[in-house]
Amino acid sequence: MIDQKSVIIGFLIALVLVLAMGLIFPIGQFVAVLIGAIVAGYLANKKAKITVVEAALHGILVGIFTGIVQILIVFVRSGFSETVASILIIAALVLIGAYIIIGALGGIVGTLVGVKSTNSPEIKEDQPK
């Protein structure tokens, strides 16, 4: 089951980071999507124990939404130019495809982080006798 709230939170985090990190260094947008997908996978696993496939779907949705919004932002910034639109269609396929792969990996990592943090053994203090 897809947890919509965690996907939206992950998407918003990824979108803000894409806009901020994309200006700093070129690979920043991919790192931003990875971080957003990790957050989405972690939050989804925190609410209900999900499978790895469901975690990947959460990350994929974060990647798809982030890629679509990023392409729309570039299209608006270009002034709705027809020449830019034809280039953006090809770029959208490549960019969204890369975001899907990165999002799936991020969703899986987020779930694994959530599982690892909830199943960690607690340190028990010695009881006085």
pLDDT of residue 51: 84
d(CA 46, CA 57): 16
Tens-place pLDDT, residues 3-17: 889 999 999 999 999
In the predicted structure, residue 23 carries a pLDDT above the cut 80:
no
In the predicted structure, residue 82 carries a pLDDT above the cut 80:
no
Mean pLDDT, rounded, for 36-64 = 89
pLDDT of residue 35: 94
H helix runs in the chain, sequence order: 4-24, 28-47, 52-77, 82-118
pLDDT of residue 62: 93
Mean pLDDT, rounded, for 70-93 = 81
| pTM for the predicted model, two decimal places | 0.83
Mean pLDDT, rounded, for 67-86 = 81
- In contact, 83 and 34? CB cutoff 8 Å: no
Q: Which one, of 66, 77, 64, 94, lies nearest residue 85 by Cα?
A: 77
pLDDT of residue 90: 85
pLDDT of residue 98: 93
- In contact, 63 and 99? CB cutoff 8 Å: yes
